[in-house]
Amino acid sequence: MRRRHTFLAAVLLIAVTAGPGLVAGSGPWAAAQSSGAVTVKVAHDATYGAYLTDGAGMALYVAAVPEQVDRINGSGTPPIAACNGTCLQVWPPVITDGAPVAGAGANADLLGTTEGSNGGTQVTYAGWPLYTFAADTSAGNTFGQAVAPPQGAATGAAWYLMAPDGTVILTKPPE
């Protein structure tokens, strides 16, 4: 667990000090950029079960307050969590050029879009805006699961994987 926290702290420090250029589209942050319609599909993990990924297999996350998720899962009225400024460097939004496509295991009826805080067309699932995580550098990485915001952040939201049925996965990472 200590190794995971050290790794995440290093990623956050790099993103915060490097400035907004990281979102521009190189390295692991390029996952949020799109040159066409984004595909959303499903991957499986022994700890988290089935969860959403993009077409390249990169995990997709939502920002949510756990107490809200307990009340909201299954209600069809998710809160819209905004990620702006420095947040976008660590949590790039999933931006699409065109209607998102449901890949293997994803429900096309739950896919949608909203205007992203960066001005692009952001992909949503069951109404939740989707994001990638800068520390997830390979398909199958889920380092962003249950990551809480830095101290002093304006929101109490943490980041979670989403299940193909549109519910937020609150399972904590293994120690």
Residue 152 is predicted with a pLDDT of 47
Residue 24 is predicted with a pLDDT of 36
Q: What confidence tier does 18 reach under pLDDT thresholds 50, 70, 90?
A: very low
Helices (H), 1-155: 2-18, 66-72, 86-90
Name beta bridge partners: 43: 51
Closest CA to 142 of 172, 102, 101, 111: 172
Q: Give the model confidence (pLDDT) of 39-88 as tens digits.
A: 999 999 999 999 999 999 999 999 887 666 665 555 555 555 567 788 88
Residue 117 is predicted with a pLDDT of 76
Residue 74 is predicted with a pLDDT of 57
Checking if the pLDDT of 160 tops 60, the result is yes
* Whole-number Å distance between alpha carbons of 2 and 7: 9
Residue 84 is predicted with a pLDDT of 78
Residue 61 is predicted with a pLDDT of 95
Residue 153 is predicted with a pLDDT of 55
11, 20, 45, 76, 80 from 140: Cα distances, Å: 18, 26, 8, 28, 26
Q: How many CB atoms lie within 10 A of CB 117?
A: 15
Q: What percent of the chain has pLDDT over 70?
A: 66
Residue 78 is predicted with a pLDDT of 57
Residue 150 is predicted with a pLDDT of 62
Q: What confidence tier does 158 reach under pLDDT thresholds 50, 70, 90?
A: confident
Angle (nearest 5°) at CA 99 between 55 and 136: 30
* Whole-number Å distance between alpha carbons of 85 and 83: 7
Whether 93 and 116 have beta carbons less than 8 Å apart is answered as: yes
Strands 101-102 vs 39-45: parallel, antiparallel or unpaired? parallel
- Read off the DSSP letter of residue 109: G
Q: Cα 167 to chain center, whole Å?
A: 13
Q: Give the model confidence (pLDDT) of 113-131 as tens digits.
A: 998 877 789 999 988 899 9
